[in-house]
Structure 1
Amino acid sequence: MKEGYNFKKVEKKWQKIWEEKEVFLSCEDSQKPKYYCLEMYPYPSGAIHMGQVRNYTIGDVISRYKMMKGFNVLHPIGWDALGMPAENAAITQGVHPQEWTLRNIAHMRSQLKRIGFSYDWSREVNTCLPEYYKWNQWIFLKMLERDFAYRKKSKVNWCPQCQTVLANEQVIGERCWRCESLVRLKDMEQWFLKITDYAEELISGHDLLEKWPEHVLLMQKNWIGKSTGAYITFPVPGTPLGIDVFTTRIDTIYGATFLALSPEHPLSKELIADSRYRGKLQKWIDKNIENLSFRKEPGEVEKEGIDTGKKVINPFSGEAIPVWISNYVLMEYGTGAIMAVPAHDQRDFEFAKKYSLPIKVVIVPEGESPPGEPEESFEDYG
């Protein structure tokens, strides 16, 4: 009987040749045009899973295609190896985190090599080794020297089981995606980087990104968060207090019919201190601070609010307008307080309709007259 095709034997033969001939080695002084292909580094959990195989196969196809087109391809691989998961797994296994991690890396490396991906293994990266993370530390210290890094308290999603902070995407049904423990909000002092100090450079850099999908560029620009606008202080009558807001639409200020604060705003508690409804107001604030849905984007939650009973003065019109506390205003955005212009902001419009607050039109489309009762906000410039 004729012997069938021996995949393992043939693969082993050619993989040995590729390694000996350094077929996938990227040379720095090559005269060929350069091409860089990077897939997300795997976390060394113990074994490569099929999702990773799929992802790395796509990168491998692209890299091999570019090689055949005459490019000097840099196709690196590495291990995203630091973090609490390694510590927790090591505790469960009863071994040192370093031993557990390096053992997993050795096993997964052998798996990737047997698959035959076109990696330049001379550039293998391991984020848990000092020769890698010393450069992270060096970069951070440079940021600190230039006053680019700072500390402040902020609320985080905290998993009590994993003893670590979770991104919003890692909280599923108010539970940790990994261990399914109930996640709670926790005040934690942490490091931040002043990305907005470089907003102009980051935005202009998008002009150099040719052939990038428009929706990806838009996501990046929104993340950078460059805003051109003005800070305005609304005085609280009879007190030395003033509430600062940031707005990109100063032209709509005559249409402001209320002010809204985040439940986390430092003035939220101060404004209700002398209210006879203080207990009710404080209970509402506490509930919304603890509510996990509060961490979602403003458009993803049902808008709720409560009237503080206080008023502020519009510094342009002199009109007194009420101060509300609402869950659709986030402390992370601007100053944590907004001047609400229902006729010209859809979120403000929806909130005003729900609580029967005034809607004052101050801008209309060119050639039109102000409507009696608008059915939606008009957000253009008119």
Structure 2
Amino acid sequence: MRFAHLSDTHLGYRQYGLIDREKDFYNGFERIIDKIIDMDLDFVIHSGDLFENSRPSTDALIVVQKEINKLTDAGIPFYAIAGNHDLSRRVNPIPPQVLFRDNGIKLISPIKPYFKQDDYFIGGVPYMPQNRNLAFKEKLETLSKKAKGSTNKILVLHQGIDKYIPQYELEIGDIPTNFNYYAMGHLHNYINDSYGEGRLVYPGSTEIWKSNELNDYKNNGKGFVLVEMDDGNVETERVTVELPRQFINIRVDYKKLYSEMPNFINEISKLELKPIVNINVFGSDFTSSEVYEYLNKELSDLCLSYRPTFDFQEIDNDSLDYNPGPININRLIKDKLEDDGEDVVNFTIDLFDELSKDKLEEAEASVKQFYANRYGGDLDDY
């Protein structure tokens, strides 16, 4: 059989507070479903974070209903588990995926921990935080025993593993080794590793949820994994779906800013969709207000969003009259919070930048995104 494995679609996410970005996430999901139908696959596995939060918008619900109906009409079952974004922080939370059971979603849950399709065992555990690690291990052990009589065994999880990230919920040794394919979710970068009797795969997110995913996107693209399984043997293939909107990171020396920007502006003016631009200006003897005013004039109409940051470099004060110059806020934040981790530092720098420019909607979105990513819950639940 051949099946598609995808994850972390985060439908309903309004990145930077922009409706255009919310639509980008919908469009990416729709293109993937169309590709799966065109490939005439046997089933689909979605390993968590179908939605951005546990109370999806009406638009997000409509998109999922439409796409699941298309799969059902094509005779392609859709197996899914809940990720941390799909679940509220309440006791025994019910993910929004349950709304589509009559449309064709086969939800892997505590009530229904596994399904069997022909000689395929498809079982899993929804996201569980690290403080429930003991209960999680017990569920994994039970699934491992239930799967023993099947030829093709698939385990579906939405968890971070210590082998791949520093902040994790599971250690690699906690995962049973008698499965042929480990359909993982939660990490947004593509990972395809050997484990147990086959492959352990994170397909990554289907859109750029955070700018630090750009390097992985350039190397591996965004999309899903095509899996072929027969008699316990597994072969995988990365299937990418082009993202029409570009994310661009550039770093410019202030001394060359005014000479190099016209060429850059000319290039992005040719793009079909307005890009997301992160621009870092470095150097000395300039003020952020001066550069921001220039960038705003040149880029605001050409970019969907542009996010400037500034790296002020020190100059030799011994050869100049004393002038303290602008305060390097980024460096102060980094020095103060570096013990709390890189994610906290980056979040604080971005939040300060957004608040200093009165970008209140973007700041609110950043806070919710950081909270969900770090603590696995929805800030609106509190």
Task: Answer with 1 or 2: which has the greater Rg.
Answer: 1
Give the TM-score of the pair, scaled to structure 1: 0.28
Higher relative contact order (CA 8 A, sep 6+): 2
